Chains A and B, each alone.
Chain A
Amino acid sequence: MTRTPTSTHDSLARELARRDAAWWRDLAARLAVSIGGVSTILFIVAIFAFIGSQGFEFAWNRLSWSELFFGTRWEPTVSPPTYGAWAMIAGTAWITAVAMLVAVPLSFCAAVYIGEFATGRRREWLKILVELLAAIPSVVWGVIGLQVFNPMIQSVFGVQIGLNVLNAGLILGLMAAPIMTTLAEDALKAVPDSYREAAEALGATRWQVIYKVVLPHARPGLSAAVLLGIGRAFGETIAVLMASGHTLMAPGSVFDSAATLTATIAAELGEAAVDSDHYQALFVLGLVLFFITFAINLLADRIVRGRRRS
């Protein structure tokens, strides 16, 4: 095809002729949806900026970071106030650990069964069931913790208070498990079928295929699933506030009541006067939470992506 040389005037005229109403509408739509796309970035930046702006001045001038992370006394309302979040950090760690002890085995086994053993209708139904479980609201889980698990833990273990690390951990485990099941199943699904077929052609049974081929290859995806489960368990607020007993003391065993970072914000934000030190300290906790979940998400993304590239 040969291109006939055109004068600038011609091309300009053609360009202008192209700009009918449809062209302008196209441009407007393009701008509008671009704004929609970029808005997600804006929101993340705005979350950081707004929480930071509330907490930053306080964090910079009047808060000692070593006290925040290692101080054991969180007494923002007595004078002089102390802002030691160690009890909440420990509580968060304990509860998340118990939650993962519950969720990892349950969700991985469920994922292997759904993804590798189950077939046809049974598989579809199990998947739907798992998805529905993931939708139960966190405040309902809180009620389950208060009304169902609390008396159960009291009578089974003979302890005074059933609202403790164990209760909150169980609840968070059951809450995180459905999501982790879905993520883990995706990780298994990402292992190419040709690998399975190769192993089966060598005479491996289904279990040998899973154990020797599928699981090792799905490992990055499975670790990402655990990471995202941790992120979910650790960011959960209302259910933990209701089930953990919310006691600002570092727990020594699973039968101690505990408090988490998230629950403390929820419990105290309503009482703290706007712009007071206490209020700003809660925003600093929010900032810490934001950064930790951000790091977890980036890490999980990196693990999955690194796998895909190789």
Chain B
Amino acid sequence: MTRSAMDGFRATAHELRSLQAQRLMRLLFLMMALLLLVPVLGILGVLVVEGAPGMTWEFFSQKPSKLGAAGGIYPALVGTVWLTAVALMVALPLGVAAAVYLSEYARDNWLTRIINMAIVNLAGVPSIVHALFGVGAFVHFMNFGESILAASCTLAVMTLPVVIVSTREAMQAVPKAFREACWSMGATRWQTIWSIVLPNSVSGILTGLILVVSRAVGETAPIMFTGAVFLRLVPPESVFDRTMALSFHLYTVSTQVTGVPRHVPFAVALTLILVVLTMNALAIWFRMRLRGRKKW
């Protein structure tokens, strides 16, 4: 091949320059992405290093002493389980019902638009505003008093959008043909939903459930005036008891109590993070499994 024919395939100086620019920008953007991730991972590393020595068996099984400066977090752990479980019992049925309505019944009309708007706003309202709502609605108006029930209801209202969105997404992914096949066999709408749509969107519901748990475990503001207490050494016995909670305990030991050894807040923070991240990792895994299995 002659030299002049080869030249047609060689990059011009201009092309080379823009190629270089592209490599540079790619690197730059990677660096910025890492700039977001690396410090946070570093901070998590600090939490692990500082908190791990405090995480002994006694830490999880004993009551706190010296206002939380010593001893363990057992009552707070149990309290968080209570709060989360009750919140789930409220948020899950309500959220799944709303998702069923939006995915299976709602037409594209003004009501649906308002519902969607309400979901977005419910998710966007600051947690302290949810707390004020909880105080006004559940503690005083419904007369639950400061209790697990009031705190959990507040958490449930706050996490409702999470359940709705993840369930609705899974339900909408079920192909229309499945429903039509069921209808054509004479099934009612509800029979179709119950026997075809819901079983096929279980993973979406589970994802919602896990994300609610993760939110409910981590939130502090909504529970601090509706049912969480600073110290209560016995675990709660009914939903009308007040309770300690992991997140609120972390807040108090790091701001309200003096003379707390450095490793204590770190150990509590690490416990919280481990619970929350495990939950979220599980949710992600469920979602990926769903995506992988779905062959329709």
Q: Chain A residues with Cβ under 8 A from B132's Cβ?
A: 50-51, 54, 265, 269, 282-283, 286
Chain B residues 242 to 258 lying within 8 A of chain A, measured CB to CB, are 247-248, 250-251, 254-255
Chain A residues 62 to 106 lying within 8 A of chain B, measured CB to CB, are 105-106
Task: Tell whether A137 pairs with B217 under 8 Å between CB atoms, given A205-B18, A238-B251.
Answer: yes
**Across the interface, do A137 and B272 meet the contact criterion of CB distance under 8 Å?**
yes
Chain A residues 231 to 267 lying within 8 A of chain B, measured CB to CB, are 231-232, 234-238, 242, 262, 265-266
Query: Complex formed: what's the CA distance from A181 to B46 in Å?
Result: 24
Contact partner of A137 among B131, B157, B219, CB < 8 A? B219
**Across the interface, do B22 and A206 meet the contact criterion of CB distance under 8 Å?**
yes
Q: How far is the CB of A172 from chain B (nearest CB, A)?
A: 12
Query: Complex formed: what's the CA distance from A51 to B25 in Å?
Result: 49
Bitwise, A31-43 to B at CB < 8 A (1) or not (0) is 0111111111101
**Across the interface, do A113 and B32 meet the contact criterion of CB distance under 8 Å?**
yes
Q: Is the CB of A293 closer than 8 A to any CB of chain B?
A: yes
**Across the interface, do A143 and B114 meet the contact criterion of CB distance under 8 Å?**
no
**Across the interface, do B36 and A177 meet the contact criterion of CB distance under 8 Å?**
yes
**Across the interface, do B33 and A147 meet the contact criterion of CB distance under 8 Å?**
no
Residue on B nearest A38 in the bound complex, by CB = B115
Task: Tell whether A296 pairs with B124 under 8 Å between CB atoms, given A53-B136, A140-B218.
Answer: yes
Chain A residues 172 to 203 lying within 8 A of chain B, measured CB to CB, are 174, 177-178, 181, 203
**Across the interface, do A26 and B191 meet the contact criterion of CB distance under 8 Å?**
yes
**Across the interface, do B225 and A117 meet the contact criterion of CB distance under 8 Å?**
no
Query: Complex formed: what's the CA distance from A133 to B273 in Å?
Result: 10
Task: Tell whether A47 pairs with B273 under 8 Å between CB atoms, given A33-B100, A143-B250.
Answer: no
Q: Is the CB of B61 closer than 8 A to any CB of chain A?
A: no
Query: Complex formed: what's the CA distance from A297 to B116 in Å?
Result: 12
Q: How far is the CB of A277 from chain B (nearest CB, A)?
A: 16
Query: Complex formed: what's the CA distance from A203 to B43 in Å?
Result: 43
Query: Complex formed: what's the CA distance from A75 to B276 in Å?
Result: 38
**Across the interface, do B96 and A47 meet the contact criterion of CB distance under 8 Å?**
no
Bitwise, A286-298 to B at CB < 8 A (1) or not (0) is 1001100110111
Q: Chain A residues with Cβ under 8 A from B160's Cβ?
A: 39-40, 43
Contact partner of A36 among B37, B98, B221, B262, CB < 8 A? B98
**Across the interface, do A22 and B136 meet the contact criterion of CB distance under 8 Å?**
no
Residue on B nearest A51 in the bound complex, by CB = B132
Q: Is the CB of B170 closer than 8 A to any CB of chain A?
A: no
Query: Complex formed: what's the CA distance from A114 to B34 in Å?
Result: 11
Classify the interface of chain B: helix, strand, loop or mixed.
helix
Q: How far is the CB of A53 from chain B (nearest CB, A)?
A: 7
Q: Chain A residues with Cβ under 8 A from B234's Cβ?
A: none
Classify the interface of chain A: helix, strand, loop or mixed.
helix
Task: Tell whether A44 pairs with B121 under 8 Å between CB atoms, given A110-B32, A142-B254, A207-B25.
Answer: yes
Most chain-B CB neighbours within 10 Å: which of A146, A178, A205? A205
Chain A residues 131 to 150 lying within 8 A of chain B, measured CB to CB, are 131-133, 135-140, 142-144, 146-148
Q: Chain A residues with Cβ under 8 A from B118's Cβ?
A: 40-41, 43-44
Q: Is the CB of A270 closer than 8 A to any CB of chain B?
A: yes
Residue on B nearest A110 in the bound complex, by CB = B33
Give the bracket for the number of chain B residues in contact with chain A: 35 or more
**Across the interface, do A32 and B97 meet the contact criterion of CB distance under 8 Å?**
yes
Query: Complex formed: what's the CA distance from A138 to B218 in Å?
Result: 7
Q: Is the CB of B82 closer than 8 A to any CB of chain A?
A: no
Q: How far is the CB of A6 from chain B (nearest CB, A)?
A: 21
**Across the interface, do A107 and B36 meet the contact criterion of CB distance under 8 Å?**
yes
Q: Is the CB of A159 closer than 8 A to any CB of chain B?
A: no
**Across the interface, do B125 and A290 meet the contact criterion of CB distance under 8 Å?**
yes
**Across the interface, do A40 and B119 meet the contact criterion of CB distance under 8 Å?**
yes
**Across the interface, do A23 and B188 meet the contact criterion of CB distance under 8 Å?**
yes
Q: Chain A residues with Cβ under 8 A from B190's Cβ?
A: 22, 25-26, 29-30
**Across the interface, do A46 and B137 meet the contact criterion of CB distance under 8 Å?**
yes
**Across the interface, do B39 and A109 meet the contact criterion of CB distance under 8 Å?**
no
Task: Tell whether A138 pairs with B39 under 8 Å between CB atoms, given A22-B191, A131-B280.
Answer: no
Task: Tell whether A208 pairs with B220 under 8 Å between CB atoms, given A33-B105, A133-B37.
Answer: no
Q: How far is the CB of A136 from chain B (nearest CB, A)?
A: 6
Q: Is the CB of B30 closer than 8 A to any CB of chain A?
A: yes
Q: Chain B residues with Cβ under 8 A from A273's Cβ?
A: none
Contact partner of B130 among A47, A107, A137, A146, CB < 8 A? A47
Give 13 new A-B contacts, CB below 8 A, not counting A235-B128, A296-B124: A26-B189, A37-B115, A109-B36, A130-B36, A137-B276, A139-B220, A144-B47, A147-B262, A205-B18, A237-B221, A242-B255, A294-B124, A297-B121
21 A-B pairs within 8 Å (CB atoms) are namely A29-B190, A34-B105, A36-B95, A36-B97, A36-B101, A47-B130, A51-B133, A51-B136, A109-B32, A110-B37, A117-B29, A133-B37, A140-B218, A142-B255, A148-B46, A205-B22, A207-B26, A266-B221, A269-B225, A290-B125, A293-B129
Top 9 A-B pairs ranked by shortest CB distance?
A: A36-B97, A137-B218, A235-B126, A109-B32, A37-B101, A50-B136, A29-B190, A26-B188, A110-B33
